[in-house]
Structure 1
Amino acid sequence: MLFTIFFALVAISAVDAEFDLGIGDDSDLFNFVTRPELRAPRFNVTVYDANRVTPGYWFVAPYASIVQQTQPKRYYQACQTGPAIYDGAGNLVWSGACEFRNQNTCDFRPFRSNGSDHLSAILYGWELDRKGRGIIMDSSYEVSHSINVPRAERSMNMHEMQMANDGKTAMYIIHKSDWVDISELSPFGIQEEAGWVFNIGFREVEIDTGKALFEWWALDHVPLSTSSVEIDGLDGPPPAGWNFFHMNSVDKNADGDYMISARYTDCIYKISGTDGHIIWRLGGDESSFALDAFNFSKQHDARFIEQNATTTVISFLDNASDGVNNVTSDVSTSYLVALETSVTPMVARVIRRWSRPDGHLSHARGNFQLLPNGNAFTAWSGNAYITEHAFDGDLVMEAGFASERFVTYRSYKHNFTGHPSEPPTLKAYAYGTSPATSTTVCYVSWNGATEVDSWDFYRNNSASEPIGRAQKTGFETMFQATGYYPDVYAQAISASGQVLGRSSVQLTVKSQDWQSQHTYKSQNVLSGLLTSEWPLLKSYGL
């Protein structure tokens, strides 16, 4: 039986090693003493002008492959993928990878509701959660709401889940396979009268009740002939079908109208929030606007910025390629565009453009965020390559994962205040040849706490004896004190001196040198007793 267990353990280790060898080492991942299970990817960060970088945290969600397996390739171990927050220096602030079982996560972002900070994300479907779901967390990282797709729908779409109406409603993308009339495709060589089409739309729902407030489907409003991608998949069967539209974002303005981005028609649409009709189209074969000295294709993340009676300002990321179909530019670009709607014909003019600094194309994923101070924050896809430009175009910061092990669908930059419900984690070790000459080294972290300025360390005795204070550094702070402190705890202190939280009391791990000395002395004493008492033992017949 023991041999069976041994060989089973060897086999499991061999499987893990196979995944490790696919990368070579784990230097691209964080490694913490207090939280060894958190192996979040590291960022390489270059700051070109610190004075012009906008304060805020990065919200990303690393994954290796969107078609997720139980043990995907390129994983080192559990707790790497899922929602994560980093600071502007690339230090991990919070990882939700363990909490959400290493599940692929998309569109992870903060939002404000009722004066408080919250988080939202899409947990993408996989073997342990086939349909996926949207989640909303409070500032303590506890899930307060789940948004589930109806039973008849296949899964939660990965692209978009945005809160609206002060967090009372949510908009997300929906999809299904429909058997439809495809006779309009006969000019493209399709002779069949009907076929399977991957229909896509969006829905706005009430968070508390799940009630659908608005729903829109592409096939009800957009001709198949406007698609710019190869006609494929018409023979199905469901859930397959020709993905002719590929919606990847939905936004809403103050008037209650919507704006969507459809990658496979190279078009951005404004949708009436009253009856769903298309108010205008930007780009594609039937553009309502003349594009003034620019073009775009395969775009992502169209957003309303501001509007008045004559002009609507929007932003979006021009991918300019999807790696297969037409390339409309040599480099991907973030755009801020003014749509002049009071002239005939209507005109779209570029206000600002920020090109990808490395000169490459983002074939998939990505988003663009205009920050409150006018800076441009862009996720260019790949290994979470992100940049920040000043409004005038100067590059002030760029960063990316330290390896190409992971990507992220989107990245955001925001202020956020986190108050974790779990306590800080502390571990302590004693080093030295004896207790009298030892040093006690403490490591402490608090996953998700954003207001910690320093840590106070105490010996756990009747007087709660203070040991010392250390300024917080990154995710995990190390502190060392001369002497041996057998049991210790730490308190998190804010910049104003407020105690934010306290770790549990931890027994200090003693030096192995002491243990070996103790064992050696005990053996000598026992040996001496046996030798000196041997005649007496013999006299008792022992």
Structure 2
Amino acid sequence: MVERGEDVPKVGITRGRFLAAVALAGVAGGVSLGCGPAGRVRRLYPLRPNGGEWAFRSRPDLRPPAVSVARRSEGTAPGYVFVAPKNGPGETGPGQRGPMIVDDEGRPVWFRPLETEGVDAMDFKVQRYKGRPVLTWWQGLHTTYGLGEYALLDGSYEELTRVRAGGGYQADLHEILITGQDTALITIYGLVTHDLSLVGGSTSGVTAEGVVQEIDVETGEVLFEWHSLDHVGIEESYFPPPESPAEPFDYFHINSIDVDDDENLLVSARKTSAEYKIDRQSGALLWRLDGKRSDFRMNPGASTRYQHDIRRQPDGTITLFDNGEEGENALSRAVVARLDEVAMKADLVREYVHTGRRLSVTQGNAQRLPNGNAFVGWGSEPGFSEFHGDGELLFDVNFPGGVESYRAFRFPWVGRPGDEPAVAAEPGPTPGEISVHASWNGATEVTSWGILAGPAPDRLKTLGFVPRDGFETSMVVRTDDPYFGVKAVDRRGRTLGRSAAVRPGERASPSPS
């Protein structure tokens, strides 16, 4: 509920005034920003991560991994960063796994931990469903492909529905694309018995083929289904079959789907190093781009290897994440290419290369932002970057060791959680003081926190306000009152939500998801 409090300050503190206050209050252990008597309320210094992960007094159930911002320049696009931290192969990194939103300072905005052993989240992003923005991600078990389903959440972080594959399949981790018709295009890995003798394998081997399904999100009905083995032969793969006939031959490795300008489909396959245009009605291949049987002449710089994430852009170009071949001079890059579908040639328009010449052996994506910038998730090279349209590196962030994200995106987002703010109270740094810690997982409109105190839970009054300071804001108050709470306030002075009341040594927070 939104309400206007009479005691809410209508004039926000400016950056200059805040820095001056910090300088003056440095020896005091905090910043005095209260609206009550001088020194009655002050903010403690900003929380910092420890050991590669965050820890919050008001939400001890949340321990997201801490990213480190290596470069942050002017000119980045507005919005938050959307990632899904997970452990790298054979590694155990700090913090929990799960979908996470972070700001440009690397601070968590929203996090949902996945505690089930072996279950990860992938492809976390903002899409539109029924005319409004939603959060989507894949969740399940995975090796090189996934066995799971897709979650759709609204702006209050309430689950709207789950999208599951039809026909007895399990949804793969690589892609869910919500279309303008409120259908979902998803990737699937289907296991079939297949003769592999053409490529030196068993006559009765097992092949993992790429499957595309289009599903009505509301009803679950499968509207379209495409199988790679019906159109792309195993001999087009750059990878040999496994030595064990019992191990599936992942010859295709589908990893992205997009809708082209003419409503047909664009599909990327890592292990054939090719992209395919598919007729959305018949399933027929309209063309192959790159790979062993390319219908296009690949001009210098346009060819990619083991790529991900083909997207058609509004200006007619396509973007790709080129993982690149391993070798002495190998590197990964985001690629912009132009296809001439009359002359059947592909030309490189631009490439985005990290200054550290990163080589992402697996995963990764390339997103064109509305302002012309390029946002790149480096997959197995744990981090993400934003480039100016001309190639200048503007924003560069790293995950802690052992942590990676399949993709990374930037989107605008407004989050209005359906639960209450969290609060914790404890004895303060000096006798007679109480420390109060406030947070509200996913709330993007909070600009300040009001600290409340009173003789009873239903008799709390506002003692003062401090600016929001990241995921959790910590304040100190001097009062004899035994009960404490917080209220979240937006830039217009409206109260967005209030916590429950607690005594020192207690906390009140939503149940873990």
Match of 2:318 in 1: 314
Query: What is the deviation of 1:384?
Result: 3.2
Q: Which of 421, 427, 448 is the aligned partner of 1:424?
A: 421
Compared CA separation, residues 431 and 88, structure 1 to 2 (3 A): closer
Q: Which of 302, 308, 313 is the aligned partner of 1:300?
A: 308
2:428 is equivalent to residue 439 of structure 1 = no
- Amino acid in the other structure paired with 1:173: T
Q: Is the 8 A contact 1:180 1:195 kept in 2?
A: yes
Query: What is the deviation of 1:126?
Result: 7.3
User: What is the 5 A alignment of 1:82-231?
Assistant: 82-97=98-113, 103-125=119-141, 131-150=147-166, 152-153=168-169, 155-165=170-180, 168-182=182-196, 185=198, 188-190=199-201, 193-231=203-241
Compared CA separation, residues 328 and 115, structure 1 to 2 (3 A): farther
Match of 1:519 in 2: none
Match of 2:86 in 1: 63
- Name stretches of at least 5 consecutive residues in structure 1 with no aligned partner: 1-24, 67-71, 511-542
Q: Which of 245, 260, 271 is the aligned partner of 1:264?
A: 271
- Name stretches of at least 5 consecutive residues in structure 2 with no aligned partner: 1-48, 507-513
Secondary structure of 1:225's counterpart equals helix
Q: Is the 8 A contact 2:82 2:125 kept in 1?
A: yes
Deviates more, 1:478-487 or 1:403-412: 478-487
Query: What is the deviation of 1:54?
Result: 1.2
Secondary structure of 1:196's counterpart equals strand
Compared CA separation, residues 367 and 39, structure 1 to 2 (3 A): same
Q: Which of 42, 51, 69 is the aligned partner of 1:45?
A: 69
Match of 1:540 in 2: none
Over aligned residues, Cα RMSD in angstroms? 2.4
Matched pairs, number: 453
Q: Which of 471, 478, 483 is the aligned partner of 1:475?
A: 471
Query: What is the deviation of 1:125?
Result: 2.4
Query: What is the deviation of 1:64?
Result: 1.1
Measured against aligned partners, the alpha-carbon deviations of 1:471-508 in whole angstroms (never above 9, x if no partner) come to 00000001112233310111111111111111001112
| Alpha-carbon distance in 2 for matches of 1:467, 1:415 | 34
- Amino acid in the other structure paired with 2:333: T
Secondary structure of 1:230's counterpart equals coil
Segments ≥4 residues shifted beyond 4 Å: 98-102
Query: What is the deviation of 1:131?
Result: 4.6
Structure holding more helix per residue:
1
Query: What is the deviation of 1:47?
Result: 3.0
| Alpha-carbon distance in 2 for matches of 1:194, 1:463 | 75
- Amino acid in the other structure paired with 2:113: A
Q: Is the 8 A contact 1:197 1:234 kept in 2?
A: no
Q: Is the 8 A contact 1:485 1:508 kept in 2?
A: no
Q: Which of 373, 385, 389 is the aligned partner of 1:375?
A: 373
- Amino acid in the other structure paired with 2:245: D
Deviates more, 1:279-288 or 1:130-139: 130-139
Query: What is the deviation of 1:329?
Result: 5.7
- TM-score, normalization: structure 1? 0.79
Structure with higher RCO (Cα < 8 A, 6+ apart): 2
Query: What is the deviation of 1:314?
Result: 0.7
Match of 1:19 in 2: none
| Alpha-carbon distance in 1 for matches of 2:244, 2:499 | 59
Measured against aligned partners, the alpha-carbon deviations of 1:66-103 in whole angstroms (never above 9, x if no partner) come to 7xxxxx962667xx101111111100011110587883
Query: What is the deviation of 1:209?
Result: 0.5
Match of 1:536 in 2: none
- TM-score, normalization: structure 2? 0.83
Secondary structure of 1:228's counterpart equals coil
Compared CA separation, residues 270 and 90, structure 1 to 2 (3 A): same
| Alpha-carbon distance in 2 for matches of 1:371, 1:106 | 20
Q: Is the 8 A contact 1:234 1:242 kept in 2?
A: no
Query: What is the deviation of 1:211?
Result: 0.7
| Alpha-carbon distance in 1 for matches of 2:281, 2:62 | 47
Q: Which has the larger radius of gyration?
A: 1
User: What is the 5 A alignment of 1:4-19?
Assistant: none
| Alpha-carbon distance in 1 for matches of 2:345, 2:130 | 38
